[in-house]
Structure 1
């Protein structure tokens, strides 16, 4: 029996205006009020999505969010974490060297802020992520030692990013999980970081497992949780390779695809 619904944000729950529609809001709030775990799964930190958490009423003591594409599982109210996985400074050097050699923009995120790396041109990431601190830093001036980092991001115009992806050195792919989360965003994550991994830890906390999980997604960084879930649902606007592993397809993010599917599955209680 499904007791947890995990939802990607961009191009899944959010429409093209980066909003949760009234219809999606109404359905998810009703299910949550009846005891369903509703979990937002995103590459962003929790502060950057707090407006969505409040909109959906996900502020009960047992409400959690999956952040940094599975690198952090955090309680929405207490901010206590039940799982995190990150980089250290030395782990960032190979991606920086690649970006610096080709003059590609790069942002580095720890679990609190975004460092805009000023050795290269400024990126367009600030226009994508809101409600988080951005700090200008030279790479050599980043906190080192055991300071934890969540991920690195290349935020570059989609057409240019398409040409960059094939150039990524094989050595980087051996030590990083490289995923394209949006047409203009490429993320470098610690190996083993995936939304499915974060959800596995959260489900265990709920004394549950993947057999009780429904997911909604559209992109590469949703592939793992789509495969793992008992019911992996992919949007009509999803990537072909993600649709290929889906259990079900639904309408697009601009056509209330989440509410459309949930309305069918949970018709007797909505």
Structure 2
């Protein structure tokens, strides 16, 4: 098994708790990138929100890519051309919209460029959690365009309320629902996940999952951790993430867990 690509989740994996990439993580990833390995950030966020991280790691070449929106978009970092894109229509969100209205829950809907804050609903915590310079567009659901494709919807509120909503909402066949952070519940197209985007990117390079090492910690990382030739769960990761992985880091995300594992693995 020859590792040619390293896929990295951001929150609680590559990033510290204060949302930064440590010097040690930066150094080893830049070294491996210079040696010819593909370093791929895999995130639920749009690429413009993580541009500073891309720049910090030097992933700005014409053959550098990012997995965004939890697999729904695979985008070239330099040209912003997509090699894979799959989302939802406005009509697809109607059952979810009916549920959140009936329960006074918040909802943000994202296309592949913008974040829409639905003003007729309860206030969302997503803006505060994002901690990024990105525009939130206030709108009503009725005013959302039905002529474009959307990447996902996000319910962001207190964890206990998200637990209740997930238990009460029948999402079967409508969405792939994942908890990416304690305060964020995501609604993706059915069967959409990070492994789907990674498969498209691996195929683009003529590789397979046997050539992939993936790092993650949470529910939205499970598929890529399971499919990767070397799936690596963070020491601070969930029991579910550790159960589907080949290995677990010695240290957590605040103590260079990624860097220590990579240094030991690649010697």
Same fold (TM over 0.5): yes
TM-aligned CA deviation for residue 132 of structure 1? 2.3
Matched-pair contact (CA < 8 Å) for 1:45–1:111: yes
TM-aligned CA deviation for residue 191 of structure 1? 1.0
TM-score (norm 2): 0.97
TM-aligned CA deviation for residue 166 of structure 1? 1.0
Matched with 2:135 is: 133
**What do residues 208-259 of structure 1 show as CA deviations (whole Å, max 9, x unaligned)?**
1101000000001100000100000000111111111110000211111100
C-alpha distance in structure 1 between counterparts of 2:164 and 2:189, whole Å: 23
Matching of residues 103-252 of structure 1 within 5 Å:
103-129=104-130, 130-144=132-146, 146-169=147-170, 172-250=171-249, 251-252=251-252
TM-score (norm 1): 0.96
C-alpha distance in structure 2 between counterparts of 1:202 and 1:189, whole Å: 19
TM-aligned CA deviation for residue 60 of structure 1? 0.8
Matched with 1:7 is: 8
C-alpha distance in structure 2 between counterparts of 1:76 and 1:131, whole Å: 18
3-state SS, counterpart of residue 135 of structure 1: strand
Matched with 1:44 is: 45
Matched-pair contact (CA < 8 Å) for 1:156–1:184: yes
Which runs of 5 or more residues in structure 1 are unaligned?
A: none
Matching of residues 11-26 of structure 1 within 5 Å:
11-26=12-27
RMSD: 0.8
3-state SS, counterpart of residue 62 of structure 1: coil
Report whether the alignment pairs 1:57 with 2:65: no
TM-aligned CA deviation for residue 162 of structure 1? 2.2
Aligned length: 264
Report whether the alignment pairs 1:66 with 2:97: no
